[in-house]
Structure 1
Amino acid sequence: MRQMVGLVQRRGIFYFRRTIPEALRAGMPAVLGTAGPGIFDESAPVSLKGSRAGREFWVSLATRDEDEARSRARRLDGEADALIRVAKRHITLSAKPKISELDDTAIQGLVTTFRHRKLAADEARRRGAEPLSREAFDALGQEIAAREAELRDANARGDCAATHFDIDAMMTVLDAGLNIAFGSPADRRLYLAFVEAELEVMTIIRDRQSGATRPTPVLTVSDNPRSRERASRPKPEKADGPTPEQILEGWKRDQTPTEKTFYTFSRKVRRWTAFLAERDVTFDRASLSDASDWKIASLVERSAKSVSNDLYAVKAIYGWAVANGKCPVNPFSGLKQPRAAVKGQRRSTKRDFTDEEAVRVLTAARDRRGYRRWVPWIACFTGARISEICQLERSDIVSSKGNHYFRMTTEYDSEGEESQISDAKKAKKNLKNHSSKRFIPIHPRLIEEGFLDFVAACKDSDLFSDATPDRFGNRGGNATKVISRWVREKLGITDPRISPSHSFRHRFSTLCKNFNVPPEMRDRLMGHSSGEASELYGEDYWISTLSIEIRKLPVPSGLG
Structure 2
Amino acid sequence: MTRKIPHLLLREGRYFARLVVPAELRAIVGKTELRKPLGADRREAMRALPRCVADLQDVLSRARHAAASDGRAVHSAPARPMALGAVAHLHYDAALDRDARARDVPKELSGVTVPEINQWSAPARSASLRRVASGAASNDEVSAVVGWALEQLKDRGSFAAPHGSPQWRELARTLASVELEALARSLERDRGDYSGKPSFPPLTTPAPHEALADAVPLRDLFDGFFAELRRSGKGAPAEKRWKSAFDNLIKFLGHDDARKVTRSDLVKWRETLLTTHAARSVRGVFLASVKTVFSWAVDSERLPTNVSLGIKARVPRQQEAREKGFVDEEARDVLRAAKNYAPPTRERAHLTAAKKWVALLCCFTGARVAEITQLRKSDVRREGDITYIRITPEAGSVKTGMFRDVPLHKQILEWGFLEFVNAAPEGPLFYSTTIKRDEKSVHPSKQVAQQLAAWIRSLKIVNEGVAPNHGWRHRFKTICRDVGIDAETRDAIQGHAARTAGEAYGTVSLKLKAAAIEKFPRIGLEKKSG
Which of 308, 311, 317 is the aligned partner of 2:287?
Answer: 311
* Alpha-carbon distance between aligned partners in 2 of 1:252 and 1:488, rounded to the nearest angstrom: 33
Partner of 1:445: 411
Letter in 2 for 1:393: R
Q: Does 1:458 align with 2:441?
A: no
Percent identity of paired positions between Structure 1 and Structure 2: 29
- Give the direction of change, closer, same or farther, for the CA distance of 1:252–1:464 in structure 2 (3 Å limit): closer
Letter in 2 for 1:548: A
* Alpha-carbon distance between aligned partners in 1 of 2:444 and 2:321, rounded to the nearest angstrom: 26
* Alpha-carbon distance between aligned partners in 2 of 1:387 and 1:323, rounded to the nearest angstrom: 32
Deviation at 1:482, TM superposition (A): 1.9
Deviation at 1:276, TM superposition (A): 0.8
* Alpha-carbon distance between aligned partners in 1 of 2:463 and 2:406, rounded to the nearest angstrom: 30
Q: Over aligned residue pairs, what C-alpha RMSD do you find?
A: 2.8
* Alpha-carbon distance between aligned partners in 1 of 2:280 and 2:269, rounded to the nearest angstrom: 15
* Alpha-carbon distance between aligned partners in 1 of 2:460 and 2:418, rounded to the nearest angstrom: 30
- Give the direction of change, closer, same or farther, for the CA distance of 1:485–1:463 in structure 2 (3 Å limit): same
Deviations 1:259-291 (A, max 9, x none): 3333433332222111111xx684321222211
Deviations 1:1-57 (A, max 9, x none): xxxxxxxxxxxxxxxxxxxxxxxxxxxxxxxxxxxxxxxxxxxxxxxxxxxxxxxxx
- Give the direction of change, closer, same or farther, for the CA distance of 1:363–1:558 in structure 2 (3 Å limit): closer
Which of 444, 454, 465 is the aligned partner of 1:485?
Answer: 454
Q: Return the index of the structure with the highest Cα Rg.
A: 2
* Alpha-carbon distance between aligned partners in 1 of 2:360 and 2:456, rounded to the nearest angstrom: 13
Letter in 2 for 1:354: V
Deviations 1:440-490 (A, max 9, x none): 01001111111111112223432223597875362322212222222222x
Q: Does 1:548 align with 2:525?
A: no
Which of 453, 475, 492 is the aligned partner of 1:524?
Answer: 492
* Alpha-carbon distance between aligned partners in 1 of 2:452 and 2:436, rounded to the nearest angstrom: 15
Letter in 1 for 2:277: R
Q: SS of the residue aligned with 2:389?
A: strand
Task: Give the conservation status (yes or no) of the 8 Å contact 1:273–1:283.
Answer: no
Task: Give the conservation status (yes or no) of the 8 Å contact 1:407–1:438.
Answer: yes
* Alpha-carbon distance between aligned partners in 2 of 1:552 and 1:543, rounded to the nearest angstrom: 15
- Give the direction of change, closer, same or farther, for the CA distance of 1:323–1:482 in structure 2 (3 Å limit): closer
* Alpha-carbon distance between aligned partners in 2 of 1:502 and 1:397, rounded to the nearest angstrom: 22
Q: Which runs of structure 2 are paired with 1:32-111 in the superposition (5 Å)?
A: none
* Alpha-carbon distance between aligned partners in 2 of 1:474 and 1:359, rounded to the nearest angstrom: 29
Q: Does 1:338 align with 2:314?
A: yes
* Alpha-carbon distance between aligned partners in 2 of 1:321 and 1:373, rounded to the nearest angstrom: 45
Count of matched residue pairs = 300
Q: SS of the residue aligned with 2:502?
A: helix
Q: Which runs of structure 2 are paired with 1:233-252 in the superposition (5 Å)?
A: 240-252=214-226
Gaps of 5+ in 2: 1-209, 342-351
Q: Which runs of structure 2 are paired with 1:128-167 in the superposition (5 Å)?
A: none
Q: Which runs of structure 2 are paired with 1:109-508 in the superposition (5 Å)?
A: 240-254=214-228, 256=231, 257-277=234-254, 282-309=257-284, 310-342=286-318, 351-368=324-341, 369-411=352-394, 429-435=396-402, 437-465=403-431, 471=438, 472=441, 474-489=443-458, 491-493=459-461, 495-508=463-476
Structure 1 moving runs of 4+ over 6 Å: 347-350, 467-470
* Alpha-carbon distance between aligned partners in 2 of 1:469 and 1:546, rounded to the nearest angstrom: 38
Partner of 1:225: none
Letter in 2 for 1:463: L
* Alpha-carbon distance between aligned partners in 1 of 2:295 and 2:258, rounded to the nearest angstrom: 13
- Give the direction of change, closer, same or farther, for the CA distance of 1:356–1:446 in structure 2 (3 Å limit): same
Q: TM-score scaled to structure 1, two decimals?
A: 0.49
Task: Give the conservation status (yes or no) of the 8 Å contact 1:470–1:477.
Answer: no
Letter in 2 for 1:479: V
Task: Give the conservation status (yes or no) of the 8 Å contact 2:291–2:309.
Answer: yes
* Alpha-carbon distance between aligned partners in 2 of 1:311 and 1:532, rounded to the nearest angstrom: 29
- Give the direction of change, closer, same or farther, for the CA distance of 1:324–1:455 in structure 2 (3 Å limit): closer
Letter in 1 for 2:415: E
Letter in 2 for 1:483: L
* Alpha-carbon distance between aligned partners in 1 of 2:258 and 2:520, rounded to the nearest angstrom: 53
- Give the direction of change, closer, same or farther, for the CA distance of 1:408–1:488 in structure 2 (3 Å limit): same
Partner of 1:188: none
Letter in 1 for 2:378: S
Task: Give the conservation status (yes or no) of the 8 Å contact 1:356–1:558.
Answer: no
- Give the direction of change, closer, same or farther, for the CA distance of 1:526–1:292 in structure 2 (3 Å limit): same
- Give the direction of change, closer, same or farther, for the CA distance of 1:433–1:470 in structure 2 (3 Å limit): farther
Task: Give the conservation status (yes or no) of the 8 Å contact 2:389–2:406.
Answer: yes
Partner of 1:116: none
* Alpha-carbon distance between aligned partners in 2 of 1:348 and 1:533, rounded to the nearest angstrom: 36
Task: Give the conservation status (yes or no) of the 8 Å contact 2:236–2:442.
Answer: no
Partner of 2:478: 510
Task: Give the conservation status (yes or no) of the 8 Å contact 1:350–1:499.
Answer: no
- Give the direction of change, closer, same or farther, for the CA distance of 1:495–1:289 in structure 2 (3 Å limit): farther
Letter in 1 for 2:262: S
Letter in 2 for 1:541: V
Deviation at 1:514, TM superposition (A): 1.5
255-264 or 520-529, larger mean C-alpha shift: 255-264
Task: Give the conservation status (yes or no) of the 8 Å contact 1:251–1:317.
Answer: yes
Letter in 1 for 2:339: R
Deviations 1:220-242 (A, max 9, x none): xxxxxxxxxxxxxxxxx966322
Deviation at 1:372, TM superposition (A): 1.1
